[in-house]
Amino acid sequence: MTTQENNLSRRDFLKLGIGALSALAVLEMGGVSLFFMQPRSLVGEFGGIVNAGPVDSFPAGSVVEFPDGRFFLIHAPDGGFLAVYSRCTHLGCTISWEADKNQFFCPCHASSFSTTGDVQNPPAPRALDLFAITIEEGQLLVNTGSITQRDRFTTDQLTYA
Amino acid sequence: MTEQKLTWKEKIFYTTPNDDRSRMRTVANNLILHIHPTKVAKPALRFSYTWGLGGISSVLVMFLILTGVLLMFRYDASVENAYTSIQYLETQVAFGALIRNIHHWSANLLVVTSFLHLIRVFLTGGFKKGRALNWALGLFLLTLVLAFNFTGYLLPWDQLAYWAITVGTSLLSYVPLVGTAVSNFLLGGPEVGQTTLRNFYAIHVAVLPAILILAMSFHFWRVRKDGGISQPEPGERERVEKVTTIPHLVQIELAATAVLTVVILVWAIFVPAPLEALANPSHPPNPAKAAWYFMGLQELLLHMHPLAAMLLPLTLFIGIALLPKLDTQEDNIGIYFRSHKGRFAALFGALIGTILVPLAVLLDEYWLDLPGLFPTWPTLITTGLIPLLATLAMFGLIYGYFRKAGKLNHSEAIVGLFSFIMTSFVTLTLIGIFFRGANMALVLPF
């Protein structure tokens, strides 16, 4: 019989088999646990699509808070809409709208943002995150499940009726 | 070995044998005492060598398990009922407030004692000579303690809890590539909510305790396998005197446990654990602060880009874990600060730490404005890379100064640098706790 370089003895074959099967079992258990604990998004609440109301109920230049949807609806003077996530881009505290100063303010580390969500005062590293807006039959629908990050405000982020 | 006639009492409980031989037999055969060798080196028993910090930490863990199990019977991990169940515990349940206070203060004290235990083991060179694994295990245990505190912090579901966890987990999302995914996984969504509370509860009462008990047992077992706690190298022909574990070690442990129990109990009777208003996701308190043991990190965050503020402690943590490789000098094991010169280095390091850190904080707060100086550069460089490299360069400078100007050897210079880093960290923490007011502005605490 010719000697084979890669001759695998029965013992080594069984060892390898047990090792491979154990590794597979661990992977399976890990995968199962991972899927088991996967977050599930809730329909109709934050994370779903929120109906903000009819388009013409927001005067140009207004900023309206939707606490349940975690966003501010901004109606820019030129008629475009912007839905900004009410969560500070620095460390996640909830911002508030200060109408007298015309700015969003975060009390945790004193970041402030302009009416378009641009950073006025750091430590916030980027402008406020956006939610996608669609307009159907005159109703403003804000998708709180789709968060878009941006560095600064540009006019193409506005949605028009 | 001949058949030993042990009563069931002897097998389980501590008995009071009368001669050394049966004392040693008791230790070897007793479930709890078997954690010890039958005899221990006499110098290892000196209280001012260990300060009993490892033992005190273990006893605190026992208090935490006992009170934690009791609390589980009265706690409800749901957003609707969590806060109410704590209020109920505080006002209606017999001894409810006391049990919660003991749990709260033991957990806080455990952070302190395990940190001091790390300092003690470092200062006496207990990480050297084959103890690298146990040193790493100890560091792992310290992170476990912090993870316990972090997950437990959320459970009362008050303002303090909600915002400390929001800020803490937001940090995660700055980790490149996987950060947001891990944060979403832990929180069960983009923000702290019902899933977060349930996740943290499961982690706090099941996952972490299982890991902690295994890791602690491993830690203790390694101490035994490494030949007991670290001691100075005996000279030639020198014999270390050994004494029986009963009564010499056991009585110290019992005394320390008794004192600790009284201290915790009296403290818990007179100082209530904090409970603020019900968590309100739309209104963060001002200032929104992290738990006190994370305020050093929070203070860093005010001055650095979050990525840099995470990289710096991570670098230091890895450095500390690698100490057994960095400092291999064996003739100074068991000597506090390595030598007389090392003692001076530690003092000097602590001194410049307490002076430089407040100066740097004031400088950055009122004068230095790197993003303003270089408005076109990204903040990742101006508030991230530049301060990070400056801090690391400072470490290098201090080490170099000790080596050159102080004429210290490598081991002693590391003591000086370690002392500087730890003092700076403690100073930052104190600034975060006492000198930060509304809008995180610098204020005087008095």
**Picking from B99-113, B272-286, B293-307, B365-379, which range would have the lowest pLDDT averaged per residue?**
B365-379
* B171 to chain A: closest CA residue: A91
- Name the residue of chain B whose CA is nearest to A38's CA: B185
Closest residue on chain A to B192 (Cα): A92
Instruction: List all residues 6 or more positions away from B151 whose beta carbon is below 8 Å from its beta carbon.
Output: B200, B201, B203, B204, B208
Q: Are B153 and B161 in contact (CB under 8 A)?
A: yes
Checking if the pLDDT of A161 tops 80, the result is no
A30 touches chain B (CB under 8 A): no
Residue of A nearest to B163 (CA): A93
DSSP string covering B280-322:
-TT---SS----GGGHHHHHHHHHS-HHHHHHHHHHHHHHHHT
How much is the pLDDT for B1?
47
What does the alpha-carbon distance between residue B206 and residue B209 come to, in Å, rounded to a whole number? Answer: 6
Tokens representing residue B384 in the block:
């991230």
Judge whether A93 and A128 are in contact, CB under 8 Å: no
Q: Beta strand B242-244 with A139-148: parallel, antiparallel or unpaired?
A: unpaired
Burial environment of residue B15 by CB neighbours within 10 A (0 to 12, 13 to 18, 19 or more): middle
Bond from prior residue into B247 cis (ω within 30 degrees of 0):
yes
**Residue reference for tokens 């005197």:** B241
Please judge whether A94 and B281 are an interchain contact, meaning their C-beta atoms are less than 8 angstroms apart.
yes
| Pairwise CA distance, residues B53 & B370, whole Å | 43
**Which SS3 state, helix, strand or coil, does residue A42 take?**
coil
Contact state of A125 with B305 under an 8 Å Cβ cutoff: yes
Q: Pull the structure tokens for residue B412.
A: 């002693």
Place of tokens 């992170």: B143
Computed over every residue of chain B, the mean pLDDT equals: 88
Residue type, B276: E
Residue found under tokens 């190298």: B233
Q: Are B174 and B181 in contact (CB under 8 A)?
A: no
State residue A40's pLDDT score. Answer: 66
Among all residues of chain A, which has the CA nearest to that of B442? A109
Is it the case that residue B238 has pLDDT exceeding 60? yes
pLDDT 10s digits, B250-260? 889 999 999 99
> Which chain B residues are Cβ-neighbours of A90 within 8 angstroms?
170, 306
CB contact under 8 A, A107 and B167: no
Query: What six digits make up the tokens of B361?
Result: 């904080």
Chain A closest-CA separation from residue B369 CA (Å): 11
Query: CA of A69 to nearest chain B CA: how many angstroms apart?
Result: 11
Tokens representing residue B9 in the block: 């009492």
Q: Which of B195, B288, B371 sits opposite A93 (nearest CB)?
A: B288
- B158 φ/ψ angles, rounded to the nearest 5 degrees: -105, 180
Residue B374: Cβ within 10 Å count: 13
Nearest chain A residue to B440, by CA: A109
**Nearest-angstrom CA–CA distance, B239 and A47:** 70
Contact: A123, B383; criterion CB under 8 Å:
yes
How would residue A130 be classed by pLDDT, with cut points 50, 70 and 90? confident
Q: Chain B residues within 8 A (CB-CB) of chain A? A: 163, 166-167, 169-171, 173, 184-185, 187-191, 195, 199, 281-288, 301-302, 305-306, 371, 379-380, 383, 438-441
Would you state the structure tokens that stand for residue B150, as one six-digit string?
């972090």
Look at A15-19, B86-90, B106-110, B367-371 and tell me which has the smallest mean pLDDT.
Answer: B367-371
Q: Which residues contact B249 (CB under 8 A, 6 or more apart)?
A: B36, B40, B45
Closest approach of A118 to chain B, Cα-based (Å): 15
Cα–Cα dist B321/B324, whole Å: 7
Q: How far is CA B126 from CA B37, B336, B382, in A?
A: 18, 10, 40
Q: Flag if A39 and B188 touch (Cβ within 8 Å).
A: yes
Rounded to two decimals, the pTM is 0.86
Query: Each residue of B197-226: pLDDT tens digit?
Result: 999 999 999 999 999 999 999 999 999 888
Name which of A38, A46, A91 is nearest B167 (Cβ-Cβ).
A91
Domains and CATH numbers, chain B: 36-285 (1.20.810.10), 294-446 (no CATH)
